[in-house]
Amino acid sequence: MFAGSRRSDEKVHPSRYARWACEVVYARWAASRALVRQFREGASQLLRDVRLAWRHRKLTRGERAKLRPREATASRRAFGDLARMVPLLFNPLPPPLGLVLIAVAYSFPRALLSPQFHTSEQAEAFARQDAATQLEAASELRRSLLRSHATLLTDVASLGPATPVDRARRVLQCFDTGPLSLSALKRPDLVRLATIAAPRSLKCYPNSILRTLVENAAKVVEEDDAILLASLDGSGDDDASATLSGAQVRDACVLRSLHGDDQPGHRLRAWLVRAAAIRAAWRRDLPPAFLFVAAALCNAPNLPPVPVGAGVRTI
C-alpha cells in the first residue's frame, strides 16, 4: 500500500526534467509576450507618425521650418517607414505563424524594422555603427583629396561667419561646378562621399545612384538645419542638448557626420551657426558635396564655440 501511494505521488508531482521544461516554456512565453508588446508599441508609434505626415503633406519648406524637430523627422520618414513595414503590419498568416515572422524580423532589426520598432539600446548601437562607418570613409576620403586638393580643403576648413563673401563663393563654386562637384569626383571618392551621406556598403551601386543618395541626404540636411536653427535660436543657448534630447542630438550628428569629441550638443550648435553663415554668403542651398566634406573632413567636430547670432542669417 505504501509503495502504491508512493508511485501515485511520483505520477502527480513532476520530475525535475518536467519542471525544467516548464521553466523554459514559461521563459520563452514571457519573452514572446514582451516581443509582441514591443511590436504593438512600435506599430502604434508608426501609425501616429503616418497621421502626422498626412496632416503636414502639403506644407512648404518655410512652413516645415516652423515644426518641432520630432514632428519634422516623423513627417519626412513616416510614409517610407510604413511601406517598409506593410508585410508585418498586415501579416496574412494566422497565429502563431505570424508571431514567427515578427520574431524573425527582430532577429534582424536593422534590415527588417523601421526606427519606431527599435529599442533605445538598438538605436544607440546602430548610431555607433553608422558613426564608425562614416569615420572610416571620411579618413579615406581625406587622404585621397589631400593628395590633389590640399589647398582647397584648407580653405574649406577656414570658412565661417567671418569669411569674406567673395572668398566663400569661390570656394563653394569648386563644389558646385568645379573639381569637387558630384559629377567631377572620381569613382572611389564618390563612393566614400556617399558612404558618409548614407552610411552603409555602397561599393556595388552605380555612380548615378550614388549621386542621387548624396543629393537626397543634402536636401534632408538643409531642411533639418533650418528646423534646428529655428528651435535653437529661441533658446539662446550654445549647447543644442539644452533644447534637444540626447537621441535627437545623436541622430542630428550622424545625419551630418559630426563626430570627434564628448560634447555633441556644442559641436552641433557650432556647425549649424557655421553652415548658416556660409549659406547666407552663397544665397542658396549649399552644394551637396560641400556639406559632407566640410562637416566630416575639415575639422567640423573641433570648431570653436561661435557666439549665438554672430554673423548668422537664418534661411
User: In this predicted model, which residue has the larger pLDDT, 111 or 12?
Assistant: 111
Model pTM above 0.85: no
Instruction: Report the pLDDT averaged over residues 127-146.
Output: 89
Residue-wise pLDDT for 150-205, tens only, equals 888 888 888 878 888 888 899 899 998 888 899 999 999 999 999 999 998 888 99
Residue-wise pLDDT for 227-270, tens only, equals 888 877 665 566 666 678 888 888 988 998 888 667 888 888 88
- Taking residue 287's Cβ as centre, other Cβ atoms within 10 Å add up to 23
pLDDT value of position 11: 47
What angle do helix axes 120-158 and 246-256 make, rounded to 10 degrees? 50
| pLDDT value at 79 more than 90 | yes
pLDDT value of position 130: 92
The pLDDT mean for the chain works out to 80
Cβ pair 152, 210 in contact under 8 A: no
pLDDT value of position 31: 66
Which is nearest to 196 in space by CA: 153, 150, 139? 139
As a whole-number percent, the residues of the chain with pLDDT over 70 amount to 79
Cell representation of residue 12: 502527480
pLDDT value of position 101: 82
Cα distance between residue 142 and residue 292, in whole Å? 12
pLDDT value of position 29: 60
pLDDT value of position 125: 93
Q: If DSSP states are collapsed to H, E and C, what string results for the chain?
A: CHHHHHHHHHHHCCCHHHHHHHHHHHHHHHHHHHHHHHHHHHHHHHHHHHHHHHHCCCCCHHHHCCCCHHHHHHHHHHHHHHHHHHHHHCCCCCCCHHHHHHHHHHHCHHHHCCHHHCCHHHHHHHHHHHHHHHHHHHHHHHHHHHHHHHHHHHHHHHCCCCCCHHHHHHHHHHHHCCCCCCCCCCHHHHHHHHHHHCCCCCCCCCHHHHHHHHHHHHHHHHHHHHHHHHHHHCCCCCCHHHCCCHHHHHHHHHHHCCCCCCCHHHHHHHHHHHHHHHHHHHCCCCCHHHHHHHHHHCCHHHCCCCCCCCCCCCC
Cβ pair 227, 75 in contact under 8 A: no
Instruction: Report the pLDDT averaged over residues 279-307.
Output: 69
Cα distance between residue 308 and residue 105, in whole Å? 45
User: In this predicted model, which residue has the larger pLDDT, 261 or 88?
Assistant: 88
* 208: confidence class by pLDDT, cuts 50, 70, 90: very high
* 139: confidence class by pLDDT, cuts 50, 70, 90: confident
pLDDT value of position 107: 86
pLDDT value of position 314: 30
User: In this predicted model, which residue has the larger pLDDT, 160 or 30?
Assistant: 160
71-80, 89-98, 162-171, 211-220, range with the lowest pLDDT? 89-98
* 212: confidence class by pLDDT, cuts 50, 70, 90: very high
pLDDT value of position 117: 92
